[in-house]
Structure 1
Amino acid sequence: MLNHPRTGQPFESPVPPGSGWPGDPATPATPQAADAARVARLAEQAESIQELDALISVCRACPRLVTWREEVAVTKRKSFADQPYWGRPVPSWGSPQPRVLIVGLAPAANGANRTGRMFTGDRSGDQLYAALHRAGLVSQPTSVDAADGLTSNGVRIIAPVHCAPPDNKPTTVERNTCAPWLDAEWRLIAPHVRVIVPLGGFAWQTVLRLLADRVPKPKPKFGHGVVAELDSGLRVLGCFHPSQQNMFTGRLTPAMLDDIFSEAAALAGLSG
């Protein structure tokens, strides 16, 4: 058993529900989805973001992902050997009534799977949160762990897959199993969202599926900075994924991220 690096509380890896991990939305009584059918039923019944986050955080519907995320939480990367790992599905993070919605891909094995917060603990997250802070959408430029005090200003970060997948590649079956969680989340937050920022082409396609009844034809194609205007004033704003490769090669730069999130904040009425 290890202590949480910030709170000093002892934790096992992976973290049991209701153990006191900072921000853990679940309790030992939170129902666990053991298969795709149970995911669909629980997601449909969720009545609040808080309830949905709790249900997601204890899901065990994909055996391959459960095995992988928990194995990583026990073996750990050498540089994090002295830290406990979350080792569970990572719920979305941010405002329960967001005006800006950011859509990623899946948690990183030694990033969010370690910290328990979406896009935290790896270089992609470092770039993302720094840009969000410069745009005034989060309270600080760094996101270290779930106890670092970071707060959201009208933004929420979600992903179509909530468990860290081997080689960062969930299977089609795993994506489909996780999809009802995303559908339920959109049902709960849709009235508030004004701008959606998909990070990369796959996230763009995920958003178009989510909004299928509102997408014009022909379907808008992904591109960095592309804005698709849907009905009711909703806009989808494309952004390259802030992956280490994209940032290292210069395909995406901090200035380009700043342009995207400054525009998102302005379109959502969160700037100035």
Structure 2
Amino acid sequence: MADLAALDRRITDCRACPRLVAWREEVAATKRAAYAEWTYWGRPVPGFGPPDASLLIVGLAPAAHGGNRTGRMFTGDRSGDVLYQALYDVGLASQPTSVAVGDGLELYGVRITAPVHCAPPDNRPTPVERDTCRAWLVDELRLLRPTLRAVLVLGAYGWQATLPALAEAGRPVPRPRPAFAHGAHVRLADGLHLLGCYHVSQRNTFTGRLTPEMLRESLRTAARAAAVEAPDP
């Protein structure tokens, strides 16, 4: 890939996984009653954020009526509401909400992506689907290499998917591979910081397993590791 914009365009045209293609398009056609007036995106969702980001946040996959509807990662669902509010609270986003592409939202020094770019049934990609999608994350990591200083992974699934992608992108992932934990912080031999945080799923946020302050602290730690500086107000 020559640049991230070209990569994003190729991602949105991907039809490599028949089950995911069928599901994302079925959801886009049938819709949810609350979004009956929306024209769903219904395609793979590319990463979001500046091409010179020093911090990469890795989730799991787009939500059926979130990113699959809006075309932006973590946008249009409650998980996204929690994440973007926290990003705004710590100075990494221009506004506390992410509603739709073109809503004016900017991220400062941060890019958001996922190891699987299509919405999966029951939020569960198969191992084959995860591995098929890995090439996109590998390319994204390679393109971000000149500026990338830290990767914050949300959840164990994303952690397990990110480690082999980092290795394929030429990063020195240690052996044995580090285990996921909330608050995990590993510095690779080349200086890249790898950090773990519970996923912003409703299961975690509604039960208090992940509180807003826990998420903000994870973002602050990752931002310090990446040396992200928010713009002056």
TM-score by length of 1: 0.81
How far the C-alpha of 1:232 sits from its partner, in A, is 2.6
Q: How many residues align?
A: 227
SS at match of 1:231: coil
1:162 aligns with 2:120: no
Q: SS of the counterpart of 1:136?
A: coil
Which structure has more RCO (C-alpha within 8 Å, separation ≥ 6)? 2
Output the amino acid matched with 1:171: T
CA distance in 1, matches of 2:184, 2:8: 30
Distance 1:176 1:222 in 2: 19
SS in 1 for 2:96: coil
Match of 1:73 in 2: 28
Find the aligned partners of 2:176 and 2:40 in 1 and give their Cα distance: 44
Distance 2:178 2:43 in 1: 35
* Aligned-residue RMSD, C-alpha: 1.2
- Counterpart in the other structure of 1:196: 151
Contact 1:135 1:265 in 2 (8 A): no
Aligned partner (choices 92, 97, 120) of residue 47 of structure 2: 92
CA distance in 1, matches of 2:20, 2:177: 32
1:219 aligns with 2:177: yes
| Conservation of the 8 A alpha-carbon contact between 2:109 and 2:229 | no
The runs of 4+ residues in structure 1 deviating greater than 6 Å are: none
2:197 match: secondary structure: coil
In structure 1, C-alpha distance between the alignment counterparts of 2:216 and 2:130, rounded to whole Å: 30
**Which shifted more, 215-224 or 153-162?**
215-224
Give 5+ residue unaligned stretches, structure 2: none
State the percentage of identical aligned residues.
59
Pair 1:64 & 2:19 matched: yes
CA distance in 1, matches of 2:92, 2:218: 12
Using structure 2 for the length normalisation, give the TM-score: 0.94
Matched, 1:174 2:129: yes
Quick one: distance in 2 between partners of 1:258 and 1:215?
A: 26
2:73 maps to 118
**Where does structure 1 lack aligned partners over 5 or more consecutive residues?**
1-45
